[in-house]
Chains A and B, each alone.
Chain A
Amino acid sequence: MSEDKVIVVNKGMVRADYNFWVGRYLDKFFDNLENKKLVGNKCSKCGDVFVPPRKICGKCNVVIPLEENWVDLPDTGILKNYTITPYRVNDRTDRKAKDLLLGMIQIDGSNTAIVYRLLNLKPDEIKTGMKVKIEWAEKTKGDPSDIKGFVKM
């Protein structure tokens, strides 16, 4: 392709708002989260506990009924994995900023992991397998940010 071609660049902004229905299982989960409580649900076939709760157990392909098998979960868990990144990504762009410490935490009593910030920790203090505990947001809203992050227990 010729290097001295003139390329015209048009920039413009069109706004598109999206709002996602969370469904009734997550509805109940977020209501509890707003009260600083974690709940999950349990597959009656294999016994796996999911947090956040799910309608379907992927291993067994069965429906977990909406009114059944709810499990109250503690604030504590084990750090299964972690990473440290300078990148911040949002719906429109990505940029580099101060390091973000993120962990994959398996809440005690559950069979999956959730990803949240690790707070009040320096990179060399983080070890896979360490016990961690939720630090809740001051003002909860009933959305994922109600969990501010996890701290070392």
Chain B
Amino acid sequence: MGRQVAIASAGFSEHASKRSDVNMAELVSEAVEDCLKNAPGVEFDDIDAFVNGNMPAFEGSNMPELWMTDWMGARNKPLLRVTTGGTTGGTVAIAGYYTVAAGLPKVDTVLAIAFEQQSQGDTSVGLASVAYGEISVLNTLGIPYDQLSRLLSAGAAIGVAAYQATNYMAKTKITEEDLARVVVQNRHNAAKTWWTHLKMPDLTVEEVLDTPYISFPLRYGMVCPASDGACAMLFTTEEKAKDMCEIPVYVNGVASVANETAVLGYDGSGSGQIDPSDQIGAMKSSDLAYYQAGISFPRKEIDYAEVYSPFPNQELMWVEKLGLFEETTAPKMYESGVTSLKGELPINCSGGVNATNAIGASAMERPAEAALQIMGKADNQVPKTVHTSIGHGWGGSLNLCTLMVMSDEPKRKWR
């Protein structure tokens, strides 16, 4: 049952804080065009099915893939929509993988598209509405909804990330400099990648620390932007990939294990996580995905990683949870250059989510860039040869995670 899947191409649209020159459909078509441009010889006729996703609260549009059918080239073709919040891009990529792996009749080549045009809506409302239903119990204590909304805006993404950060910092005894260092590395990298949002080649640690706090320990200068942008990836079979690109990238492991919800656990849905920097869902995802990919020693066998970290503390946390570094040692790896472009295990050479965050697309841009590094086609290409890489995503109420493990050799193990 099942078959090997390869990535033949990846493409992006320009990302910016306001892509006012295009509507959502046109933004998506840019990424589709770029993806097909990078796989010359592939026509729309060769695409057998589509997968689409974004985080719909940000644009105020429900199931926009219905409207943008023609702009994706999907007319009269099979199309599936998946969306899971911050991990949407990752789940779209994973759904693209499954659509090929399943061997459905007449479906060999799949175009997966993830996007977000955040400038159309109010990002804080989009994020805060995760939990309106859950916090309504506070309404019964007499707190009106608009005040609860403000509480959630502080509590949503940034608030929970700050909570994660303080937990992590207590364990690792790091300082804000360590956090700022991650930001500087990402934004320098973004300056060398064409499609990114915050290109800051001259940013310094001092400049990052010289910005006001939003929520301790996260300062304004450390936080990801809100971007408009789209990403597309082309998945196909082992046989067809060989004709589509020079170095097919084989998807050897995928996982998206969910954890219980954080902090705001409703009485019916669980006790809530006590320490959101534990992330056992991410740890289990990496166990599962590495097992499928035949990886026993991630630190040694993975050459490159793109992890999902809109906030710098998360980058440090993820590279440990995903098994790349020992727990509490990540900050030193950043300090000593191990994770830089020329280091032993480069991380986020595209600038990561910290430099560009079109939320629906971000979790797909991680495996997309990680795949391009294997192909040797990334804009900010690392000098060493990349054989195996991973692309990771995170989101939800701190409880969702996606992971895709890729390699230049087909190594998928079936039980």
Contacts and interface: CB of A to CB of B under 8 A. Distances in A.
A/B contact in complex, CB under 8 angstroms: yes
Nearest to B143: A12
B120 A18 contact: yes
B60 A18 contact: yes
A16 B122 contact: yes
Contacts of A23: 21-23, 25-26
- B interface residue count range (under 10 / 10 to 19 / 20 to 34 / 35 or more): 35 or more
Contacts of B149: 14
Interface stretch (A55-63, A68-76, A131-139, A143-151): A55-63
Interface in A44-59: 54-59
B132 to A, nearest CB: 7
A143 to B, nearest CB: 14
B139 A20 contact: no
Interface residues of A, number: 25
- Shortest 5 CB-CB distances between A and B: which pairs? A12-B145, A58-B70, A18-B60, A23-B23, A61-B44
Interface of B: 19-26, 29, 33, 44, 59-61, 69-71, 73, 75, 117, 119-122, 125-126, 129, 132, 136, 139-140, 144-146, 148-149
Nearest to B18: A21
Interface of A: 8, 10, 12-26, 54-59, 61, 63
A61 B111 CA distance: 14
23 contacts: A8-B140, A10-B140, A14-B129, A14-B132, A14-B146, A15-B146, A16-B126, A16-B129, A18-B61, A18-B120, A18-B121, A19-B120, A20-B61, A21-B23, A21-B119, A21-B120, A23-B21, A24-B21, A24-B22, A55-B25, A56-B25, A56-B70, A61-B73
Contacts of A17: 121-122
Contacts of A56: 25, 29, 70-71, 73
B219 to A, nearest CB: 27
Contacts of B129: 14, 16
Contacts of A18: 59-61, 120-122
B60 A12 contact: no
B121 A10 contact: no
B405 to A, nearest CB: 33
B122 A22 contact: no
Contact of A58 (B24, B33, B75, B139): B75
Main secondary structure of the interface of B (DSSP, over half): helix
Given A14-B125, A20-B24, A61-B73, 17 more contacts: A10-B140, A12-B144, A13-B145, A14-B129, A15-B146, A16-B126, A18-B61, A19-B120, A20-B60, A21-B22, A21-B120, A22-B23, A23-B23, A24-B21, A25-B26, A55-B29, A57-B70
Contacts, number: 80
A10 B136 contact: yes
A14 B144 CA distance: 10
A18 B119 CA distance: 9
A18 B129 CA distance: 15
Nearest to A55: B26
Contacts of A22: 23
Contacts of A55: 25-26, 29, 71
Nearest to B23: A23
A40 to B, nearest CB: 15
A61 B32 CA distance: 11
Contacts of A8: 140
B70 A54 contact: yes
Nearest to B33: A63
A62 to B, nearest CB: 9
B23 A26 contact: yes
B148 to A, nearest CB: 8
Nearest to B30: A55
Contact of B19 (A21, A57, A61): A21
A16 B125 contact: yes
Contacts of B25: 23, 55-56
A139 B69 CA distance: 34
A8 B267 CA distance: 15
Contacts of B144: 12
A54 B148 CA distance: 42
A54 B23 CA distance: 11
B70 A21 contact: no
B139 A21 contact: no
Contacts of B120: 18-21
B71 A14 contact: no
B95 to A, nearest CB: 22
B18 to A, nearest CB: 8
A20 B148 CA distance: 27
A97 B62 CA distance: 26
